[in-house]
Structure 1
Amino acid sequence: MPPLPIIETCRKRKRRPSVYSLQRLGEEEFPISRSGSFRDNVRVFLREFAEVEEYNVRGSPVWCTLLNHEAKSSVIPLYVIEEDVVRSSEPYCDHCRCTGWSNHFVSKRKYHFIIPVESEWSMPLEDDVFDLQTHLLHGVIHTNGFGHLICVNGLEGGSRYLCGRETVDLWDRICTSLGARMVTVEDSCKKRSLDLRLLYGVAYGHSWFGRWGYKFCRGSYGVTKNDYENAIELLGSLELDQIEIDFGEHKQCKRIKQVFRYYREMSEGHLKTLKDLLRFILIIKSHAPQKNKLHAAPAPPSLSTDSPHKKLSNRSFMKKSDAVENEKSQGYRSYSTVAANLGSRWPVRRLEYAAGVIVEALKEMKARKQSGMTRQDVRDTARLHIGDTGLLDYVLKSMNNVTVGNVLVQRYVDPLTRILHYTIQELGECSEVVEQKKDPVIEAVPLRVVSESKAGGNVHGDHLLLLYTNVLLNYPSSESVRAAVQVVLDSKHFVKEWPLWDSDDKMFQFVCRINPSLIDLRTEQITELPPGELVTVSLQATVFDLKQAIEETFRDTYCILTNFVVSEIDELKEDEDSDLLFGKLESCSALTVRGYGIDLESDLKFQGGCDTWMVKCVCRARDDDGERMISCDVCEVWQHTRCCGIDDSDTLPPLYVCTSCCDEFADQQKRVLLPKYEFPNPDQMLMIGAADDYFGEDEGCLGMIMFPSDSFASEQYIL
C-alpha cells in the first residue's frame, strides 16, 4: 500500500501522527458520549484525537488534528487553541454581545477551532490568528457549550481542497459530537455581489446556513423574528404575472419577461411565484452541465516520519525564501482594493494613508540593507507619524501580498525565532522574479482533471443577478417590497440549538441555574437571566452528590463562581442530603440553586462587560447588535448612525447631540423666554416709559401697567 499523501506539517514529528477521515470525523470515529457536557467532551477530544504543538499562541496551548480528504488526496490540519479568559487581553466575547448574549456569565475558557488558509499549513500560527478573516474555518465555543461560527472560506475564498459546504459539514459534526448547546453565525456571505441571506431567504425560507438547522436569532436595527418571517413570506409570494405588470414601464421589462418565459418552459409551467422561480434557478444552476479542463495543481507530499535533520518542533517550518516564493505564486492585490472590502470603522483613505506610512518605514529599512523588519519595529516607526495604535495594528494585519503604489509588501515568520517580519520589493523586481519561477513550477507539477462549469452555468448566474438587482432591490412603486428586503438584509444573526440527549439510562442530566436573587442584574443591559448549566450525575446519586456536582461544574465553568458553594436546591427543599434522587426528579429537569461565594465585584461577570452603557435607538434597538453606532455627548446614549442619518462611509462628527436632548434643550429655552407674569386680557395693558430718574440718571426702562375695565391703574406691574 503506498504511503498516505500528507502535507509538510507531519514530516518531522516524533512519531507517525494519526490521521482521521475528514468526511467521517464526528461520527463512528468518535467514542464520545453525546450526553456529556462540552467542557468534558472537548478534553477527551484533545487527549485522544489531537497532538499538542511545541509552541503557543498568546500564551495559550495549541493542539493539531490531521484530517484526510480522500477525494482530494490531501491532509488538512485542524487546530484547537484553548484560550484562558482570565489571562486574555480580550476576556469579553464581542460575538456574544452582538448576538444578544450579553447576560451570559463569562466562561473561564474559549476553544478556537481553526483551519488556516492553505499557504499557512506548514507554518506556525501567529499571535493575530484570532483576528484573521482568511481562515477556511474559524469557530469558537465557550466552556458552557455556547459558541459562534466566525469565519468560513470555501473555493471562492481561495481554497483548493475544501468547499464551503464541506467546511460547514465538518463544523456541524464537531459541534454535535462535542455536545455544543447553541452556536450562532453572522451571515454576511456574498456571491457576485448577491447577498445570499436574501437570495436563499426568498427561495427557501431560510438562509444558506439553514440547511444545517440555523434559524433566525436576532435582527439588527430592531428587527424581530416576526418581522423577518413576514418579510420572507411577502417576498416569496410575489406572483410572476403581477411582477410583469408592475414592471410594464420599466426598461428591464423585456428581459425580465424573457427570463420568466425561459424557466417556465423549462419547468413545464409550474412556476407561479418569485419563490418558485428563484428556487428552480438555484437547483438548475447547482446541476449545470460541466466540462473537464486540465489545470496544474500541486500534488501533496508523501508521508515521511524519518528525517536526517535536527528536530526544531513537532512541525516543520518554511524557510523565508520558500514562504515568499509560495506567496508570490498566488499573486497580489492592490491595498486600495483590500481596504475597500474590509468593512472597517476607519475610512478607506485613512487606511491607505496608514499603509503609505508603513511602506515608507519599510523603505528606510531597505535603504539600510536589512533583510526584513519585525512587526514591532514597523509599528514603532509608524507611530512617529500616526498615534492611533489600533489603526496601525488593523492595517498591519491586512498587509500581506498587497501593493502600495509600485511596492509589494509581504510578510513571513522567521523559522528560528517565530517572529513576524515584513519586507518590500519594487513591483518591477517582483514581476521578474515571478516570471522566472513560473515555467519550472508548472513543469514539475502533474496535471489533474478539474471540473469547470460551462457558459450555461454563468447564464443562470446572470439571470439571478438580473432578478436580484431589479425585482428585489429596485421594485418599482412598492414601499412594502423595499421595506421587506431591508428587513431580510438587516437579519444577519442565526442560531442552531442542540437538544439535550437523554440516551444514557445510567445517568441523570439536569440544567442548573443560579437563583436570580443572588445575581446583581443591571436593568440597563442585562434583562434576562444567564442560561443554566448542564450537570450530570449517576442514577444512584444522592442530593449531596448533586450539590457537589453542581459546585464542581460551576467552579470549572464561570469566572465569578470559582468559590461558589451550594446551600440549597429549590426543587429539593424538603429532602435531606442523604436522600436518593431516583424517584424525586426526572432527567433533563431544570433546577434552581442557592448558595454563596459569588464574586459580584469581579469585572468578569457578564459577557456584556462592566461598562454602564445604554442603547436606545429610534428603531427600537435596546442592545448592541454589531452595527455602527454613535453616542450622544450629552446623555451618552448610543444610537445607530444609520438611524441618525449618518452614512456608513461618513466620518463621525466630533460633537453629536441626539434628538431627545435637542428637544429637551428647546423646551428649556421656551420656558426661559416665557414672560414672568401672565395677563388675563392684553387689551387691558398700557405700555409706558418709566421716569428718567427711576433707576438712576443713566438708566431707564419700559413700564407696563395693567388696569381693569372699571378702575384705571388699580394694579401696576413694572417690568
Structure 2
Amino acid sequence: MHCGNGSSMKRKRGERVFRFESFCEQGVPCHFHGCFYENIMALVEFGNAEPSTTNKATKCWSFRLELHHHPPIFVRLFIVEEIIALSPYRHCPYCRTIGWGHHMICNKRFHIVLSSKGKGSAIPMIEGLELETIFRGTDSANKLSKSMEPQGHLMHGIMHANGFGHLIFVKGIEAGSEHLSGNQILFLWDRICNALHLRKVSLIDVAMKETMELRLIHGIAYGHSWFGHWGYKFSHGSYGITEQMYQKSIEALQALPLCLLLPHFSCSCHELPIIVAKYQAICCHTLLTLGDLLRFMIELKNHLPMNSTTPTMEYHGIISEATCRWSMKRVEMAAQVIVSELKKTESRWTSRQQIRDAARAYIGDTGLLDYVLKSLGNHVVGNYIVRRVVNPVTKVLEYCLEDISNKALPTCNNKNTVRFRCHVTRAQLSRDLLYLYKHVLKERRPGFTSGIFSSIPMAVRIILDMKNLIKDHGKESRLPGRIESGTNRTIELMCTVNITGEGKLPPYEQVSMQAHITIGELKRVVEKHYREMYLGLKSFTAEKVENKEAKDSDLVLRVVEPGSRIVIQGRVAVENGDQEMEIYESGNEERVINCRCGAKEDDGERMISCDICDVFQHTRCMGIADAEETPRVFLCSQCEHDIVSFPSIHY
C-alpha cells in the first residue's frame, strides 16, 4: 500500500475534506494495490472514526465530500464495518437472489452509505432497525419497501469481505436528493468499486422515473437498462426469462414502425400524433420506429434545464435568441395575440402585413410585433404549427395555422418539406414520455389481438421481469502474478479450498506470499487467509494441493506458476456441536424449485411450497396475487392430480 506523504499529519490536525468528483480516483486518497479487503481497510484509515455505539457488531468511519466550494455544500460518505459473528443477520438475501448462495458467509461485510447531511448525525443507523430494513424489510423481489427506506440516505451498497457486492438503492434528484443526480451518485459508486478492486457487483433494477419503470423505457431506447451505461449486464431473469427472450422482446419493441403505430393508436390516443409530430419537428433526422422516438426524447431531456416549466402556451423558444430585448411576458402577450388572429382566418393563408395590422390593435410596439412574427414562424403552439412561407407569385410572406392534432408523422422524403422548430420544456417532455409509456406500452387493448401489436404486452412483461444485473469488474483477469519489491520478491496466486464432505468451492481468493516459500508454508498461508475471511472456516485445516504431486518441502515456484489457480483440500473441525452451523449464504436448506414458468432456481420472486412434496413455485404463476390470497393449504398441480387419481375406498 503506497499512500501520500503527510496524510496522517493532516488527519491529526482535523477531518480531511475530499472533492466529490475526484474521491477514489487514482491516488485519492491513496493508491490501492491489494485485494478488496486490504484496500478497504486502508481506505478507512483516511476516514473520520465515528463514536462507538451500543451496537458491538459495527464500526463506522465517515468521509466529508465537497460538492461546491462557493457556496460550500457537503455530503457525507459512511463506511460501516459489520462483524457477522455478532450480527443477528448472517445471511445475505441479495447473494441468494443473484445466484451467489453457494458463497460462504464472510466474517465481515461493509456498508457504503451516502448521506445528504454533511454535518452531525454521524452514524446513519446501520445498526438495529436499518439492518432489519436491509435484510428483512424487502418485498418479494428483495426491493426495499418505500416505507422502510432510510430517510436522508442517497445510496446504500453492501460489500462482502471477499470482494462481491450489491448496490441496494440510489436516490437522485427526483427521489429527494437536493444536490446530486442519480448519474453523479452512480459515478461515485463506480469509482469506489474500481478503486477498491471489487470483483463483482449485483443490483436489482427497480429504478423508477416518476411512475415509469426505467428498465422498460431505457431498454427500448438503448437496448439495455439505465444501469447498462455503467457496465451492468444481464444476470438472469425472473419467472424463467432467458437472455434470448429478453433480447427478442427488446428488438421487437424497438422496431415498432411509427407509420403503423399511429393509425392504430390515434383513435384512442388522441395526443399520440401530436407528440410524434412535435419531436419529429425538432429532430434533424427521420424518426422511423418507437425505439428512435424514445431514444431521441430521453437524450433531448438530458440536455434541457432542470428548472424549466411549461407555460400555458409554449412561446419560450422564440425569445432564446440573444437579440431579444423584450421581457418574456411581453413576448408571450404578443405571440398570443398573433396566434389568436391567425385562428380567426380559419386556416387560410394570410399576409404578414394583414396579421401585423390586426395585432396592432392590441400591441402598439411594432418592433416587438416584427420580432415575434419573425421568430414565431414554423413554431409548434399547442395543437397547431404556425406555418410561414413566401408566396411564389407576390413574393410576400404569408402565415397560416396548421392543425396537427389528427395528423400522422410528417415525412422528410420531400426535399421541399418545411423544417420547423419547436421549443419543449423538461416538464412537458416528461409528460409526453409518460403518455407514451402508459398508452402504448402498459395499457391492454382488447382490440389488438392480432398482428404485431398483439405481442406488445408479452414483450413488456418479459422486459420488466429482467431485474437482476451484474457488473464484473474483472479484477481476477488482471492478476499480476509476481511483484518485484527490492530484495523481497512476492508472488500472487488465486486460491480456493475444497472442504472434505462439502463439495462446494468458494470463490478464488487473491493470496500474496513470499516467492521462496514451500508447499507446506503455502498451505499455512492459505489456511490463515480463509480462516480470517470466512465465518465457517475458523477451524479450517489445509491438507494438500489438489492435482499436484508435491511434498511440503518443495518450493512453490517449482510446482505452480505465479498467477495460476490452485485448490487446497482440507477439512473443518467440528467443535461444540457446530455441525449444524450454516456457513453458506443460502443456508443449509436446499429448496427444490419447479415452476410452470420453467424456473428451476431461486430468482428472488415470491414463492409458495406444496404442502405435500415441498416443491416451490411462484405465487404469480399459481394465480396468487398477494399475500392475503395465500391459501392455508397449497397443493401443486402434480400432487393435486395424484390425489384426484387415487382409487376410491369403499367400506
TM-score (norm 2): 0.70
Structure-1 separation of matches of 2:84 and 2:290: 48
List per-residue Cα deviations over 1:430-457 (Å, max 9, x = no partner): xxxxxxxxxxxxxxxxxxxxxxxx9711
Range 456-465 or range 619-628, more displaced: 619-628
Structure-2 separation of matches of 1:154 and 1:619: 35
Alignment partner of 1:193 out of 205, 211, 223: 211
List per-residue Cα deviations over 1:340-380 (Å, max 9, x = no partner): xxxxxxxxxxxxxxxxxxxxxxxxxxxxxxxxxxxxxxxxx
1:196–1:207 Cα contact (<8 Å) kept: yes
**Aligned position for 1:276:** 292
Structure-1 separation of matches of 2:506 and 2:244: 24
Taking the TM superposition and a 5 Å limit, the aligned residue runs for 1:141-290 are 141-247=159-265, 250-252=267-269, 254-289=270-305
1:91–1:604 Cα contact (<8 Å) kept: no
1:204, distance to aligned residue in structure 2 (A): 1.2
Q: Give the direction of change, closer, same or farther, for the CA distance of 1:621–1:565 in structure 2 (3 Å limit).
A: same
List per-residue Cα deviations over 1:587-610 (Å, max 9, x = no partner): 442222212236582422111112
Structure-2 separation of matches of 1:555 and 1:76: 37
1:77–1:121 Cα contact (<8 Å) kept: no
**Aligned position for 1:22:** 20
1:510–1:588 Cα contact (<8 Å) kept: yes
Q: Give the direction of change, closer, same or farther, for the CA distance of 1:519–1:83 in structure 2 (3 Å limit).
A: farther
Alignment partner of 1:659 out of 626, 637, 640: 637
Alignment partner of 1:551 out of 524, 527, 533: 527
Structure-1 separation of matches of 2:66 and 2:618: 46
Alignment partner of 2:571 out of 588, 592, 596: 596
Tell whether 2:456 aligns with 1:481.
yes
Structure-2 separation of matches of 1:241 and 1:479: 17
2:113–2:157 Cα contact (<8 Å) kept: yes
**Aligned position for 1:42:** 40
Tell whether 2:512 aligns with 1:514.
no
1:106–1:606 Cα contact (<8 Å) kept: yes
Tell whether 2:518 aligns with 1:536.
no
1:170, distance to aligned residue in structure 2 (A): 1.3
Structure-2 separation of matches of 1:587 and 1:255: 65
| Secondary structure of 2:587 counterpart | coil
| Secondary structure of 2:425 counterpart | helix
| Secondary structure of 2:643 counterpart | helix
Q: How many residues get paired?
A: 491
1:123, distance to aligned residue in structure 2 (A): 5.3
The aligned amino acid for 1:239 is P
Structure-2 separation of matches of 1:227 and 1:105: 32
**Aligned position for 1:622:** 600
The aligned amino acid for 2:157 is G
| Secondary structure of 1:472 counterpart | helix
Tell whether 2:485 aligns with 1:502.
no
1:69–1:75 Cα contact (<8 Å) kept: yes
1:66, distance to aligned residue in structure 2 (A): 1.8
1:32–1:178 Cα contact (<8 Å) kept: no
Taking the TM superposition and a 5 Å limit, the aligned residue runs for 1:372-411 are none
Tell whether 2:637 aligns with 1:638.
no
1:183, distance to aligned residue in structure 2 (A): 0.9
The aligned amino acid for 1:512 is C
| Secondary structure of 2:86 counterpart | coil
List per-residue Cα deviations over 1:466-525 (Å, max 9, x = no partner): 22112222373344322121111011111111112335643533322223x72435xxxx
1:268, distance to aligned residue in structure 2 (A): 3.0
1:539, distance to aligned residue in structure 2 (A): 4.2
Structure-1 separation of matches of 2:231 and 2:176: 26
1:288–1:457 Cα contact (<8 Å) kept: yes
The aligned amino acid for 1:204 is Y
Q: Give the direction of change, closer, same or farther, for the CA distance of 1:582–1:120 in structure 2 (3 Å limit).
A: same
**Aligned position for 2:437:** 468
Taking the TM superposition and a 5 Å limit, the aligned residue runs for 1:70-81 are 70=68, 73-81=72-80
| Secondary structure of 2:192 counterpart | helix
The percentage of counterpart residues that share the same residue type is 32
List per-residue Cα deviations over 1:206-251 (Å, max 9, x = no partner): 1111111111112111212222222222222222223235436x41
2:47–2:63 Cα contact (<8 Å) kept: yes
Structure-2 separation of matches of 1:27 and 1:95: 28
Taking the TM superposition and a 5 Å limit, the aligned residue runs for 1:421-460 are 456-460=425-429
**Aligned position for 1:128:** 129
Q: Give the direction of change, closer, same or farther, for the CA distance of 1:33–1:514 in structure 2 (3 Å limit).
A: farther
The aligned amino acid for 1:281 is M
Q: Give the direction of change, closer, same or farther, for the CA distance of 1:658–1:290 in structure 2 (3 Å limit).
A: closer
The aligned amino acid for 1:502 is L
Q: Give the direction of change, closer, same or farther, for the CA distance of 1:67–1:120 in structure 2 (3 Å limit).
A: closer
1:567, distance to aligned residue in structure 2 (A): 1.9
| Secondary structure of 1:514 counterpart | strand
2:608–2:616 Cα contact (<8 Å) kept: yes
Q: Give the direction of change, closer, same or farther, for the CA distance of 1:32–1:566 in structure 2 (3 Å limit).
A: farther
| Secondary structure of 2:158 counterpart | strand
The aligned amino acid for 2:283 is S
**Aligned position for 1:408:** none
1:32, distance to aligned residue in structure 2 (A): 5.4
List per-residue Cα deviations over 1:382-407 (Å, max 9, x = no partner): xxxxxxxxxxxxxxxxxxxxxxxxxx
1:194, distance to aligned residue in structure 2 (A): 0.4
**Aligned position for 1:372:** none
**Aligned position for 2:410:** none
Structure-2 separation of matches of 1:117 and 1:22: 12
Q: Give the direction of change, closer, same or farther, for the CA distance of 1:121–1:481 in structure 2 (3 Å limit).
A: farther
TM-score (norm 1): 0.63
List per-residue Cα deviations over 1:49-105 (Å, max 9, x = no partner): 342423254632222222222366222222222111122111111111111211111
The alignment yields a C-alpha RMSD, in angstroms, of 2.8
2:15–2:48 Cα contact (<8 Å) kept: no
1:563–1:597 Cα contact (<8 Å) kept: yes
Structure-2 separation of matches of 1:594 and 1:637: 34
1:291, distance to aligned residue in structure 2 (A): 5.8
2:91–2:105 Cα contact (<8 Å) kept: yes
Tell whether 2:568 aligns with 1:568.
no
Structure-1 separation of matches of 2:569 and 2:535: 17
2:594–2:617 Cα contact (<8 Å) kept: yes
Structure-1 separation of matches of 2:30 and 2:506: 27
| Secondary structure of 1:97 counterpart | helix
Q: Which runs of 5+ in 2 are unaligned?
A: 1-10, 134-147, 310-422, 485-489
List per-residue Cα deviations over 1:635-688 (Å, max 9, x = no partner): 2322211111111374322222221211110111xx337x9xxxxxxxxxxxxx
Q: Give the direction of change, closer, same or farther, for the CA distance of 1:97–1:291 in structure 2 (3 Å limit).
A: closer
The aligned amino acid for 1:634 is I
| Secondary structure of 2:621 counterpart | coil
Structure-1 separation of matches of 2:13 and 2:596: 62
Q: Which runs of 5+ in 1 are unaligned?
A: 1-12, 294-453, 522-527, 676-718
